[in-house]
Structure 1
């Protein structure tokens, strides 16, 4: 019989309103075993908790803890796959980190909920069922880390939360499967890059900040991030990766001082393409910024932090980064 390990981290799927205080808001309280445990259709499921928190509170140390737990579960010969329940706010970052360090042929699937456990119509149980089907699917072997939500299974890389309240909040990535009635229909296989090592303790305190470009923005925040201890900065530029006056000059100074600058875009979809001069993307890259390809700022930040925590110096960040962009 197929066996799946379910790892809980909290999030809306495990949250309930606080009794007697309607204004207090939902808080993660339900254990992973409350979601599913024991026999489940043609598979058995065991459950344990790694964390019990809402994902907007997660730190890099928590992401490392999750990565270690998933790595251990996948290495266990008694497990045929892993499901991680997680808050949706930062699920895309955790999923991408797990995918970067994924070495197993088995599948790890993240899921969660948009409505709390005590909602009249909770969506968590259905999402867990779909995640279990994906994690146990023989056809999805060698797919790395996936996200299952509201009838769609997509790759972790490139996915992002695109709606605050919709039952299907994630877009992007590659759709690898979807539900047709009770059946999981596999449609694609995501490309896998060579895995990086599981994050070390240094990952916990690696500082990578994000600075956003907008009309009238100055590069002051870029300089402040560096002076306050950032080891790298992701510049979320406009359009295909541009920024306003004086950014290129500041990037040059920052890079010369030993801090990596990753050029991403604040646009929700599409790659960074350094086309423009006059301080635009072409000048930023000439100044030393590293284009992030089609990685959004948040996943670019995770990759930069992981590389830095493994001792990749800023001077070698460009080649190390490029190896994981496609």
Structure 2
């Protein structure tokens, strides 16, 4: 008889673990063991791990690092064949990318969660969890990088973004193909401050200056279109470059490759001349995680440019 693989299921909270309380607000109340009890018989042995119980909107980089460290511990356990992480959807793309960057994946690593609470009539958590366990139990998925199983889709961590706040099919990928090759950046990101600054028509550099004054060592611009701003922002980027603060340009547009082609004093071409780096694919949330990881690993300027080039 073939022994079923052991899948570690790391519970961190999120909507999948939430129910509505007396006030009407939903809060994480179910444990990983509670959630596994809702499943029919699985094609794997399951080990629940109660790591934390948080909405992902309240996660810090330290929390994400803690999750990555917990995944590493299970990867190092010879008895474990695969890992599933139960996670809130608000920040799933960030934590999934951090794990993808930090760890050597010799086993499948799958993130999942839910859009609807466990007491919702259309609760989607059990279906997503069952799909994640199936993926984690198949050793072939170790070669695909960190994956997200959600709403009937299997998506790569690199380029992931949440595209809907109220549909069960909540995630999309900014890439048509998964990126497996990537910089391995194992350094912890605790204590690294990288801020996201929103760009909009008529904005000035107030928020960039505030981030620098607050000690940010990196800034991600959620810019317009293919990565465009205005002359005031370009001047601020030039000042950041002189002060050794890395600036990465992403876009508020959800998909499409960014190309620094526009001039006019505030376009992507001008930003590049001022020292900014364009994130060709990753959107602001994931660009922040990648930049934080690169800074934590003391990567060179050339390495940072290369990391964002795909």
In the alignment of these two chains, the number of paired residues is: 305
Alignment-derived partner of residue 33 in structure 1: 33
Alignment-derived partner of residue 4 in structure 1: 7
Q: Distance in 1 between matches of 2:209 and 2:258?
A: 22
Whether the aligned pair in 1 keeps the contact of 2:175 and 2:281 (CA below 8 Å) is no
**TM-score of the pair, normalised by structure 2:** 0.93
Alignment-derived partner of residue 179 in structure 2: 191
Q: Distance in 1 between matches of 2:143 and 2:66?
A: 23
Deviation sequence 1:184-228 (CA, Å, 0-9, x none):
xxxx8x33224524342xx22211011121111112211221112
Give 1:325 shift: 4.0
- 1:277–1:208: structure 2 CA closer, same or farther, 3 Å change rule? same
Alignment-derived partner of residue 230 in structure 2: 244
Alignment-derived partner of residue 183 in structure 1: none
Matches within 5 A, 1:21-60: 21-22=23-24, 25-36=25-36, 40-60=41-61
Indicate yes or no: 2:273 matched with 1:289: no
Whether the aligned pair in 1 keeps the contact of 2:114 and 2:125 (CA below 8 Å) is yes
Q: Distance in 1 between matches of 2:27 and 2:279?
A: 35
Unpaired segments ≥5 residues, structure 2: none
Q: Which of 274, 280, 285 is equivalent to 1:298?
A: 285
**TM-score of the pair, normalised by structure 1:** 0.89
Give 1:253 shift: 1.1
- 1:213–1:195: structure 2 CA closer, same or farther, 3 Å change rule? closer
SS at structure 2 position matched to 1:99: helix
Alignment-derived partner of residue 178 in structure 1: none
- 1:239–1:207: structure 2 CA closer, same or farther, 3 Å change rule? same
Indicate yes or no: 2:206 matched with 1:220: yes
Q: Distance in 2 between matches of 1:103 and 1:17?
A: 38
Alignment-derived partner of residue 87 in structure 1: 88
SS at structure 2 position matched to 1:258: coil
Alignment-derived partner of residue 71 in structure 2: 70
- 1:65–1:72: structure 2 CA closer, same or farther, 3 Å change rule? same
Deviation sequence 1:305-324 (CA, Å, 0-9, x none):
11212233xxx234234236
Alignment-derived partner of residue 184 in structure 1: none
Deviation sequence 1:227-256 (CA, Å, 0-9, x none):
121111111211111101322122111110
Q: Distance in 2 between matches of 1:174 and 1:237?
A: 19
SS at structure 1 position matched to 2:36: coil
Whether the aligned pair in 1 keeps the contact of 2:278 and 2:308 (CA below 8 Å) is no
Give 1:77 shift: 1.1
Matches within 5 A, 1:104-183: 104-173=105-174
